[in-house]
Amino acid sequence: MSEPGSGCKIAGVGVNVPSRVLTNFDLEKMVDTSDEWIVTRTGIRERRIADADETTHGLAIPAAQEALRSAGIEARDLDLIICATATQQRYFPSTACMIGHGLGAGDAPGFDISAACSGFIYGSSIIQQYFRGGMAKNALLVASEIYSRIVNWQDRATCVLFGDAAAAVVFSASDSSEGLIATRIRSNGEYGSFLTGGAITRSGDPVAGALPTMGDGYFIEMKGNQTFKIAVKSMCDVATRILEENGMTVADVDMVIPHQANIRIISAVGKSLGLPEDKVYSNIHRYGNTSAATIPLALYEAVQEGRVKKGDVVLMVAFGGGLTWGASLMRW
């Protein structure tokens, strides 16, 4: 375990995306849409789709293995495993427990969190508290999503948005200037109806023998205009607040990695914060909205591309169904 009050840094990152690519031109054959319509409104050109036999934890394990290799540690060195997902295969065992078993992590505690697209930020906040309390030396945070299974593929407004992916991050104890500086998470159920999905079952009286059926609200439903407004406002507010609380301004930030919801939201957040385009990272054109996985997937690619370098201040900010939102500030 780490010393009480210890900080933590990202020691390794890994990703895994399905091999199947679904392009906008493929979608043109499925619903009344076009590549031009999708790109103009969302910035998305293609997305990855899991095969029928792929599972949320199965998608996550290779990402976690890469993150562990990058960090130079073994699965048995983990003191905590968290999986951020809205598309777990079952209520229990948790996806985190199945990931831990697949990795050979022994009896490291594991649990899932449900904060929709804000899941990675929420998980980072929990992990930071574990390190501050001296309860972990190494922790694994995995975001794994198969949204293609809760998308209505006849609804052109939503089916064009989402993709499947997994990304994982290993946090390790650190007392250097590098690492996680602060996190801030918020929620407000008043806006819960703006973005819903994944209702699993509906039944009559189960004691009388009624069998569960697919529930109303199983597929993703979104109030687009309302979601856009609250998404931009909430992300800008929490970004400004976390910078102020840590004696920084936007000028101190080298890269912002926002949740990859759609290009209009990403651009609006950057513009509202007064950031040049080259300081707001986006890879939504390749993957679409992969929910909790968007930020760690984008972080991985930003580092690979040299857009995020050692010593850079990185601001990650997200919103999701709930509504949930939050920000994470770190020095890479």
Identify the CATH number of the domain in which residue 164 sits: 3.40.47.10
Strands (E), the chain: 7-16, 20-23, 46-49, 80-84, 110-113, 138-146, 164-174, 179-187, 195-196, 221-222, 255-258, 313-320, 324-331
Burial of 283-293, coded b for 16+ CB within 10 Å and e otherwise, reads: bbebbbbbbbb
At residue 140, what are phi and psi to the nearest 5 degrees? Answer: -115, 125
Token pair of 202, please?
């509906």
Instruction: Tell me how many domains the chain contains.
Output: 2
Q: How far is CA 64 from the centre of its chain?
A: 14
**Residue 201 falls inside a structural domain:** no
**Residue 70 falls inside a structural domain:** yes
Residue 178: burial class (beta carbons within 10 Å; 0-12, 13-18, 19+): middle
Label residue 197 left, alpha or beta by phi (over 0 means left) and psi (-120 to 50 means alpha): left
Residues 147 and 49 in one domain: yes
**Residue 51 falls inside a structural domain:** yes
Amino acid code (one letter) for 103: L
Residues 188 and 158 in one domain: no
pLDDT 10s digit of each residue in the chain, 332 long?
555 557 999 999 999 999 999 999 999 999 999 999 999 999 999 999 999 999 999 999 999 999 999 999 999 999 999 999 999 888 889 999 999 999 999 999 999 999 999 999 999 999 999 998 888 999 999 999 999 998 889 888 888 999 999 999 999 998 877 899 999 999 988 876 677 676 555 555 556 666 556 556 677 776 767 778 888 999 999 999 999 999 999 999 999 999 999 999 999 999 999 999 999 999 999 999 999 999 999 999 999 999 999 999 999 999 988 899 999 999 99
CA distance 265 to 283: 13
Residues 165 and 239 in one domain: no
Label residue 23 left, alpha or beta by phi (over 0 means left) and psi (-120 to 50 means alpha): beta
**CB-based contacts of 265, cutoff 8 Å, min separation 6:** 228, 231, 232, 235, 258
Active site residue 83: no
Residues 166 and 41 in one domain: yes
Per the document, the length of the chain is 332
**Residue 204 falls inside a structural domain:** no
CA distance 169 to 66: 9
Q: What is the pLDDT of residue 126?
A: 96
Token pair of 197, please?
């999905």
Residues 119 and 227 in one domain: no
Q: What is the pLDDT of residue 107?
A: 94
Q: What is the pLDDT of residue 192?
A: 66
Residues 25 and 145 in one domain: yes
Residues 169 and 228 in one domain: no
**Residue 271 falls inside a structural domain:** yes
Residue among 223, 236, 48, 217 at smallest CA distance from 147:
48
> Per the residue annotation, which of 8, 138, 259, 262 is the catalytic one?
259
Which of these three, 144, 176, 208, is where a domain ends? 176
The SS3 of residue 239 is helix
CA distance 180 to 194: 31
Which of these three, 122, 142, 176, is where a domain ends? 176
Domain that holds residue 300: 181-192+219-331
Which of these three, 142, 176, 210, is where a domain ends? 176
Q: Does the N-terminal peptide bond of residue 323 adopt cis geometry, omega within 30 degrees of 0?
A: yes
Residues 27 and 144 in one domain: yes
**Residue 36 falls inside a structural domain:** yes
Residues 166 and 262 in one domain: no
- C-alpha distance across the termini of the chain, in Å: 23
Residues 25 and 172 in one domain: yes
**Residue 214 falls inside a structural domain:** no
Active site residue 97: no
CA distance 260 to 302: 13
Amino acid code (one letter) for 228: F
> Per the residue annotation, which of 83, 117, 159, 236 is the catalytic one?
117
- Cα distances (Å, whole numbers) of residue 325 to 38, 259, 269, 292: 25, 10, 13, 11
Q: What is the pLDDT of residue 224?
A: 64
Residues 41 and 159 in one domain: yes
- Cα distances (Å, whole numbers) of residue 160 to 21, 186, 217: 13, 28, 18
Residues 117 and 243 in one domain: no
Are 272 and 229 contacting, i.e. CB atoms less than 8 angstroms apart? no
**Residue 198 falls inside a structural domain:** no
Active site residue 152: no
Residue among 113, 138, 122 at smallest CA distance from 183:
122
